[in-house]
Amino acid sequence: MFDYKLHVGTIAWLFHRISGLVLIFYLSLHIWVVHYIAESPEKFDALMAFLAQPIFKLAEVGLMAAILYHSINGFRIVLVDYVWGNANQKVLFWISFGISTVLTLIGAYFLLISH
């Protein structure tokens, strides 16, 4: 029925929006967690112990990936809009995606081996 193909620009737009939503969700969750500091140190310590589980380490890697991709792709958007124009947007996407992937893998290595 639909013969629509995903183009590089569409993928970049979609990833940028998804990473932005992830960051909004994280910021809301972070504010909710931090309010425990004001309630009592015991509640905060219990919550921090809960958040020390391995599944949350993976969530931190996902958060780091979202931050890196969103920020580097945002810089790519500025370059496309104000410097090089649309002609180089595909190459710039793959460069920004590669940089964010490499930085995420390096950061994940250090994040996951730390205790």
> Could you identify the residue written with the tokens 């496309």?
80
Q: Residue 114's closest CA among 57, 35, 48, 56?
A: 57
pTM: 0.78
Helices (H), 80-88: none
User: What CATH number is attached to the domain comprising 38?
Assistant: 1.20.1300.10
| Better pLDDT: 106 or 112 | 106
pLDDT in tens, 59-110: 889 899 999 999 998 888 888 878 877 777 888 889 899 999 999 999 999 9
Tell which residue, 69, 55, 74, has the closest CA to residue 22: 69
Whether residue 61 contacts residue 7, with contact meaning beta carbons closer than 8 Å, is answered with no
DSSP-derived secondary structure letter, 53:
S
Residue 12 lies in a domain: yes
User: How many structural domains compose the chain?
Assistant: 1
Q: Which residue in the block uniquely carries the two structure tokens 């104000």? A: 82
In a domain? residue 2: no
Q: Is residue 95 assigned to a domain?
A: yes
Q: Is residue 3 part of a domain?
A: no
- pLDDT tens profile 10-69: 788 888 899 989 999 999 888 887 877 777 778 878 888 888 888 888 888 989 999 999
Q: Which domain holds residue 57?
A: 8-113
- How far apart are the C-alpha atoms of 107 and 3, rounded to whole Å? 39
Categorise residue 112: left if φ over 0, alpha if ψ from -120 to 50, beta otherwise: alpha
Query: Could you count the other beta carbons within 10 Å of the beta carbon of residue 68?
Result: 19
pLDDT the model gives residue 9: 77
- N residues, the chain: 115
